[in-house]
Amino acid sequence: MNRAKNAPATPQALSKLPLESRNTFGLPSIAELAYEITTPDQLPSLMASILGAGLVWRVLGGGSNVVLPDNLPGATLLMNIPGHEITNSNEHYTEVAVGAGENWHEFVAWTLAQDLPGLENLALIPGTVGAAPIQNIGAYGAEVAEFIKVIEAFDSQAQAFVTLRQEDCCFAYRDSYFKQNPARFIVTKVVFKLPKKWVPRLSYAELAKQLIATPAPTAQNIFAAVCKIRQSKLPDPKIMGNAGSFFQNPLVDASTYSKLLVSFPELISYPDTKGMRKLAAGWLIDQCGFKGYRVGPAGVYEKQALVLVNHGGANAHDILTLAKVIQKKVQERFGVELYIEPNIF
Ligand code: FAD
Ligand code: NAP
């Protein structure tokens, strides 16, 4: 793996660093101290000094799943570890090791250019490779966990590097061991295992519709179709700040689902693998009339009610105030609690 050469053992502290351009919501935020992490070797001494000084700390990747406060105290580790390489290949699968700071979408595109299909349904998800396992990113019927072999991370509790196997990571729907243990691990490398046997995944109606005129779609066709749908449905963070879906799709048990169906026969939902029912949060919010709704500079995206947007000049308080209004209304109307998906720092 090509790691940054001659990187200092301890990176220079950047004091009072503005993060407005480092989070896709475009929220104003000043990091008290920030450190560019370009190689795992920087972490042991840096973390010893951060922990020794009793500072709070967190990792920031592409900033596409966070709500940043006006002032971010303590230390912010800016994840920039580069590199990707094929480390193993046999008749069944190909393994690829990737630095945590690599851009996710560029990595997906690179795998397809190497004729390594599998990740195409996860195209155009913003952010870094290192963040992908944190909430087990998913889209169009695929989840990153299915393709992970091991993860290398620095464990701040043990103050040592650890290697976690896929089965150790407690991956679940938009969840993982890392998410359950915030401010503990710094993911430095993800090793993917991409099966040679490839089966297209077209279970999502919109994706199938997009490819209706393509009888035997290739992974490249699916990649292009996913990109096209996403570009037409989601706001481009460079133009309108957002963090993708702001709420998780709620999972309810069979009895709650049956009761809801009596009152709302048109309810949009899908079976979950663990016997629960997954409700489409966007539908619940839309039914409350929130599409295009605004509270000051914070708003609900007019094409997709699950996405909150920054119309310009919003801060974390504005976004969270709007989120509370939506949560309250959905609770009143459906008796369902909506949980915020992005990480609130
Ligand atoms: P950040 O936002 O920087 O961080 C997210 C969390 O991960 C934070 O808690 C941070 O501390 C932690 N973290 C980041 N890097 C590391 C690391 N190396 N080690 C330890 N912890 C780390 N998500 C989906 O699941 N599916 C989608 O389809 C999807 N679509 C999106 C579309 C848009 C337009 C946007 C803006 C977001 C979307 N997201 C989606 C959410 C987001 O892109 C993903 O969660 C992504 O993985 C976040 O990556 P990031 O590098 O930006 O992480
Ligand atoms: P959509 O296709 O309009 O579907 C609405 C919801 O229904 C989705 O959240 C999806 O759940 C669920 N769904 C649809 N078809 C399904 C099926 N065949 N089986 C199981 N569940 C199904 O959703 P969208 O908003 O345009 O997003 C498309 C995909 O991109 C979704 O997978 C979504 O998760 C992902 N996405 C995620 C984010 C994010 O920030 N997390 C942002 C944008 C898009 P799932 O969400 O579980 O897939």
Name the residue ranges covered by the structural domains of the chain: 14-79, 84-195, 241-344
d(CA 234, CA 249): 17
Architecture per CATH, domain 241-344, reads as Alpha-Beta Complex (3.90)
Does the annotation mark 184 as catalytic? Answer: no
The letter for the amino acid at 280 is: A
Give CA separation, 175 vs 45, 136, 267, in Å: 30, 6, 25
Q: Report, as ranges of residue numbers, the positions in the chain whose pLDDT lies below 50.
A: 2-4
3-state secondary structure of 201: coil
pLDDT score at 2? 45
pLDDT score at 274? 80
Phi, psi (rounded to 5 degrees) for 219: -60, -35
Active-site annotation holder among 29, 245, 269, 277: 245
For 220, the token pair is 């490249």
Does the annotation mark 174 as catalytic? Answer: yes
Strands (E), the chain: 14-18, 30-37, 57-60, 66-67, 71-79, 84-89, 93-99, 138-139, 142-143, 148-155, 160-165, 185-195, 241-245, 251-252, 269-271, 277-279, 294-295, 298-300, 307-310, 343-344
pLDDT score at 7? 52
The letter for the amino acid at 88 is: N
Residue nearest to atom 9 of ligand 1 (CA): 343
Q: Which atom of ligand 2 is nearest to the CA of 137?
A: 41
Give CA separation, 208 vs 120, 202, 237, 271, 304, in Å: 14, 5, 26, 19, 20
pLDDT score at 154? 98
Same-fold call for 14-79 versus 241-344: no
Cβ distance 78 to 22 under 8 Å?
Answer: yes
Residue nearest to atom 10 of ligand 2 (CA): 280
Q: Which atom of ligand 2 is nearest to the CA of 65?
A: 40
Q: Which fold has domain 14-79?
A: 3.30.43
Active-site annotation holder among 174, 184, 230, 294: 174
Q: CA 295, 339, 265: angle at the middle one, nearest 5?
A: 90
Residue nearest to atom 21 of ligand 2 (CA): 270
d(CA 140, CA 146): 14
Pocket of ligand 2 (CB under 6 A): 138-140, 203-204, 206, 233-234, 244-245, 249, 270, 280, 282, 304, 306, 341
Cβ distance 150 to 166 under 8 Å?
Answer: yes
pLDDT score at 6? 55
Residues 6+ positions from 133 with CB-CB distance below 8 Å:
144, 145, 148, 151, 169, 171, 176, 178, 187, 190
Name the CATH code of domain 84-195 (choices 3.40.50.800, 3.40.630.30, 3.30.465.10, 3.40.50.10680): 3.30.465.10
User: In the beta sheet, which residues pair with residue 270?
Assistant: 278
Active-site annotation holder among 20, 36, 146, 341: 341
